[in-house]
Structure 1
Amino acid sequence: MARRGGELEAFIAFLGGLLAVGLTALGMAGVGLVARPTPALKAAAMVTLGSVWPAVTTTVYLRLKPRAD
């Protein structure tokens, strides 16, 4: 019996995106402790965090999604 729907793949992709954002944020926080962040750098960090989650989530989901043979 084949499993359908893709809910598990979507959940795994969601968690993968969350993990990627968390690791990116930790790395940025570490850099922020060493270097003095400017407002432009803070804005760039928010844009980066905002784009990492959808990019990683979509990539992981598409890699996990079963393909029709």
Structure 2
Amino acid sequence: MARRGGELEAFIAFLGGLLAAGLAALTMAGVGLAARPTPALRTAAMVTLGAIWLTVTTTVYLRLKPRIRP
């Protein structure tokens, strides 16, 4: 029986994106302790984290999504 829907793949991709964004946030927090970030730099960091999360989530999902074979 073939499984359809892709819910498991979507959940795994979401968690992968969350993990990547979390690791990037920890790295940015460590750098922020060494140098005082400006408000503009904080905004750029938030945009970067969002971009990392979206990119990793989409990439992982597309890699896990089963291919339809004729």
Fold shared, TM-score > 0.5 on shorter chain: yes
Report TM bin, short chain: over 0.9
Q: Deviations over 1:8-30 (max 9, x none)?
A: 00000010011011101000000
**In structure 1, C-alpha distance between the alignment counterparts of 2:50 and 2:14, rounded to whole Å:** 14
CA distance in 2, matches of 1:22, 1:42: 15
Residue identity over aligned pairs, in percent, reads: 83
How big is the alpha-carbon RMSD for the aligned residues of Structure 1 and Structure 2? 0.8
Aligned length: 69
| TM-score with structure 2 setting the length | 0.92
Task: List alignment gaps of at least 5 residues for structure 1.
Answer: none
Instruction: Please list every run of 5 or more consecutive structure 2 residues that lacks an aligned counterpart in the other structure.
Output: none
Output the TM-score relative to the length of structure 1.
Answer: 0.93
